[in-house]
Structure 1
């Protein structure tokens, strides 16, 4: 056999063997638009960050990536939709940690098990939480807030984005540390929490700075501190709660992409690689920082490890604070 012909035959055989290593379905993927479910309303922090990565991900995959907002039950509703979706590579989830970490401990009738029904793809971004209060409360500092809360024991409300969310557990943890009593009022998303504070329905809340800082700069909210152990790179001028008398206090929010369990591994790895490249690009990193988040970008295994560690940490907080399932 002539060497040229032999080379072509060997190349064809090699190509055939490579194609056999992947499911035929994965070879043809993606052949139609992909749905990115965000279980929070438009304008919420995960919606904003999700849309930042959806467009470049669509360009990388050669198919539209359509953001589908499915708010409700602190993110559990939309998360359940993805958990039950066909694992065909055409439905992904973009969410915060609450539905993934604490929902199984705090939701009596959860329709999914995040450890079994969802496959980690990539950690996208992390952010400190900011403690904000209604200026009419008269609390200019964290010490002021604690003093007023003790004077008005059980009379003040705080808002969160749902039972078991980072904003909920951060305040429950702080309540325990500070010895104060506040009433929890859950909302669908941070914009609703902000509106509730502005309307005087609640007086405080932990929230991501991307939502809060515009109102803080406008003088409509007072920011009392951030929940990172050290100064946050996005808000270096703002003191931490740890340095204001609560050493070791930390409550970081994060956002991630997951897929239905049993989604073909080659598809998960492809999306993870594309997301890491996108998230670490200068353009997206800058946009994410503009929302007061730090770009992450990890392999699926790293996200799985984070989820496990967070479940252990916040499980202890839930038990210590006596937070009850709903």
Structure 2
């Protein structure tokens, strides 16, 4: 399986074919010279306190200063982010509705929900910029018998189908990561969907569920406090932000990779000069030391992109995950 980092290095080949589009997106155009003249809404399809919500609020304040108008974060959680993403895709394309969402609703949901999704990520939303990337972390309760990945797999094998794991919805990276592990390790767990990672954290600490692939920004404070145990991260290489937590690949599952990312979009048809203005603003904001520090505290690495690069990445990610979904024979319709 092609690594996420390797894939990004080769995206320039795809981006070259979109050079003209990229130039248009960054060029000034008539029709929105007075934008914004009122508050801008930033839709987050996950609950308050979630990782996307925290990232959105870290960006909203400097974005408001740069645009000269308030940027109001509105949480619309549900269905693994699909509800809020669909809501934003149907908004008026006038630059007053932005969307910060994750890879699930943009990459895997169209394949898992072929007949019921209600939006097309590539035609109903226009990309602004990738925001950041982070590995997921496999966590278990603090008193779990499993001290490492091998022991976790054996624990599940000893109780086939009896243990539960939490996800932020079917088709999310928290779901597909465990689905991949189930297939590769020959184990079976029961999925329990939640509206966000904070709720999963509460259930793991309480012992209501036995595991979960989570974003480290939510999981690691509890791990560091001794309330949960981290067994592995899902990047191919170890992370400077997560020292001491081994990769899945180094524990017997070479090629195992599941990266979370967040990006900003607008409804399709938003004027190109607004798209260009937003891309310039987001790129500048992601380079700010205080924003980088906030993102590092969430274990996210800033990763600004052009709209064309983000489109190419989504297409490449979709190809990769479609193969996984087909191999796992998953459908949520």
Query: If the length of structure 2 is used for normalisation, what is the TM-score?
Result: 0.90
Following superposition, the deviation at residue 37 of structure 1 comes to 0.1
> Is 1:181–2:193 an aligned residue pair?
no
- 1:148 aligned to which of 142, 149, 155: 155
**In 1: Cα distance, 2:280 partner to 2:309 partner:** 13
The equivalent residue for 2:317 is 310
The equivalent residue for 1:126 is 133
**In 2: Cα distance, 1:22 partner to 1:236 partner:** 44
Contact 1:273-1:299 within 8 A present in 2 as well: no
The equivalent residue for 1:18 is none
User: What aligned pairs does 1:105-116 form with structure 2 within 5 A after superposition?
Assistant: 105-107=111-113, 108-116=115-123
Task: String of CA shifts for 1:252-290, please: whole Å, max 9, x gaps.
Answer: 100000000000011011101110111022221111111
The equivalent residue for 2:306 is 299
**In 1: Cα distance, 2:276 partner to 2:134 partner:** 25
- 2:69 aligned to which of 63, 71, 74: 63
User: What aligned pairs does 1:262-273 form with structure 2 within 5 A after superposition?
Assistant: 262-273=269-280
- 2:174 aligned to which of 162, 167, 177: 167
How many residues end up aligned between the 2 structures? 306
CA-atom RMSD in angstroms: 1.2
The one of the two structures with greater contact order (alpha-carbon pairs below 8 A, sep at least 6) is 2
Task: String of CA shifts for 1:208-238, please: whole Å, max 9, x gaps.
Answer: 1100011111221110011111111211321
The equivalent residue for 2:265 is 258
**In 2: Cα distance, 1:102 partner to 1:250 partner:** 15
The equivalent residue for 2:238 is 231
**In 1: Cα distance, 2:111 partner to 2:144 partner:** 33
SS at match of 1:238: coil
Contact 2:167-2:193 within 8 A present in 1 as well: yes
**In 1: Cα distance, 2:272 partner to 2:93 partner:** 10
- 1:210 aligned to which of 210, 217, 220: 217
Q: Which runs of 5+ in 1 are unaligned?
A: 1-20
The equivalent residue for 2:292 is 285
- 1:52 aligned to which of 49, 58, 74: 58
The equivalent residue for 2:12 is none
> Is 1:98–2:104 an aligned residue pair?
yes
The equivalent residue for 2:201 is 194
Task: String of CA shifts for 1:16-73, please: whole Å, max 9, x gaps.
Answer: xxxxx96553111111100000000000000000100010001001010000000111
The equivalent residue for 1:4 is none
Query: If the length of structure 1 is used for normalisation, what is the TM-score?
Result: 0.92
